[in-house]
């Protein structure tokens, strides 16, 4: 996504001004980097399913079937994150959908990259912070592009992985000091 990469690079240049140490204030100012991280997690869900136990009997709207209290329910996060009823152009990479605090950045809209409720991943804030820092530092020095002809073979297990790895081209930015 060259346009998104250019936007990240511009934000990193403006915020970091050539520095390689990222402060908490810098992290807060790297808003587009965070949106890119969130959109990446939406499209490429790390954990494909989470399970929950029904707290009470529920009738499903479309089928009219009842899910009895105590039933273990699997939530398919990868499908929820690409649900056309919740996401405009669900398969498109559009970090701007996370621009507004009231947008799809909540569980109400099916965005659950780290789970939800009492069983939310305790490392979610750390993971988002690390992701933003990693994106900023990489984009400060490098340009990434897909390797022509490479297609990842995704395997859904406990986590989503690529059977054949991830292959990208990495070019050093000549404008970096």
pLDDT given at position 99: 87
Question: Rounded distance, CA 18 to CA 12, Å?
Answer: 9
pLDDT given at position 109: 64
Residue pair 113/41 in contact by the 8 Å Cβ criterion: yes
Question: Which CATH number does the domain housing residue 53 bear?
Answer: 1.10.630.10
Note down the domain range covering 165. Answer: 2-172
- Tell whether 92 is covered by a domain: yes
Kindly give the pairing relationship between strand 72-76 and strand 160-162: unpaired
Kindly give the pairing relationship between strand 58-59 and strand 66-67: antiparallel
pTM for this entry: 0.85
Question: Rounded distance, CA 160 to CA 42, Å?
Answer: 13
Give the tokens for residue 89.
């152009």
Question: Rounded distance, CA 123 to CA 53, Å?
Answer: 22
pLDDT per position as a tens digit, 10-34: 999 999 998 989 999 999 999 999 9
- Tell whether 125 is covered by a domain: yes
From 53, 85, 103, 102, select the one nearest 94 (Cα to Cα): 103
Collect the ranges in the chain with pLDDT lower than 70. 101-109, 176-177
- Tell whether 53 is covered by a domain: yes
How many CA within 13 A on the CB side of residue 31? Answer: 7
121 is in an annotated binding site: yes
- Tell whether 177 is covered by a domain: no
Which DSSP string corresponds to 110-154? T--BTB-GGGS-TTHHHHHHHHHHHHHHHHHHEEEEEPTT----E
pLDDT given at position 118: 78
**Count of structural domains, the chain:** 1
pLDDT given at position 39: 94
Give the tokens for residue 96.
């701007």
């Amino acid at each position: 996504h060259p346009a998104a990469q250019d936007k990240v690079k511009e934000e990193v240049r403006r915020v970091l001004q050539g520095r390689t140490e990222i402060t908490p204030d810098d992290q807060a100012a790297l808003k587009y980097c965070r949106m890119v991280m969130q959109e990446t997690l939406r499209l490429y869900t790390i954990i494909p399913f989470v399970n929950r136990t029904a707290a009470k009997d529920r009738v499903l709207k479309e089928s009219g079937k009842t899910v009895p209290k105590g039933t273990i329910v699997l939530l398919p996060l990868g499908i929820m994150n690409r649900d056309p009823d919740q996401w405009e152009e669900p398969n498109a990479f559009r970090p701007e959908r996370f621009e507004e605090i009231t947008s799809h950045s909540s569980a109400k809209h099916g965005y659950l990259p780290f789970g939800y409720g009492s069983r939310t991943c305790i490392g979610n804030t750390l993971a988002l912070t690390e992701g933003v820092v990693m994106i900023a530092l990489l984009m400060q020095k490098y340009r990434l592009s897909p390797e022509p002809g490479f297609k990842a073979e995704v395997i859904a297990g406990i986590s989503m992985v690529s059977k054949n790895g991830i292959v990208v081209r990495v070019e050093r930015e000549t404008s970096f000091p």
